[in-house]
Amino acid sequence: MTNHRQEKSGVLVVDDDPKIRRLVATHLGQSGFEVFLAANGEEAIYQASLHQPDVVVLDLAMPGIDGFETLSRLREWYTDPVIILSATDQEQEKVRALDIGADDYITKPFGTEELAARIRAAIRRAERLAGTADTADHIVQAGSF
């Protein structure tokens, strides 16, 4: 994971609907997350680079650059989990998002408890992967084999 803070896990919520942003931010804040907000793709890329969140929750249908393009741009450098939160429930759209680099996909309407649980699960997976990478760096070979 790019974020090695000991404090709260950071979540960037990206959605052009202010009601969704408020709902998700309120619930995630109450669930112990540090929440950052973005209303569009350009702002999302900026906020992600500024805060290095542990997870990005990303809508697909946004003005300007859409969620697919935002995801593609994030994946050029951002390696932590991205969870799509979208009203689009067509299988081809889900497959496209997952193939571009999303780690999970939740369709609207959604439960805030489920979203928080999926964020926690994504963070656990990322921490395990980071732990595996750290362990590989500490292998010592003694003698010849």
> pTM to 2 decimals?
0.86
From residue 87, how far is each of 60, 62, 80 by CA, in Å?
Answer: 8, 11, 23
CA distance 106 to 94: 9
Q: What is the pLDDT of residues 72-88, one digit of tens each?
A: 999 999 999 999 999 98
What percentage of the chain reaches a pLDDT higher than 70?
86
Q: What angle do CA 126, 131, 133 make, to 5 degrees?
A: 95
Stretch 37-58: mean pLDDT, rounded? 98
Task: Please tell me what DSSP assigns to residue 28.
Answer: H
Q: 106 has which bridge partners? A: 85
More confident: 129 or 79:
79
Q: What is the pLDDT of residues 106-124, one digit of tens each?
A: 999 999 999 999 999 999 9
Q: Write down the pLDDT at residue 131.
A: 76
Domain ranges in the chain? 10-113
Q: What angle do CA 104, 108, 112 make, to 5 degrees?
A: 75
Confidence check: pLDDT of 135 > 70: no
The CATH code of domain 10-113 reads 3.40.50.2300
Task: Please tell me what DSSP assigns to residue 90.
Answer: -
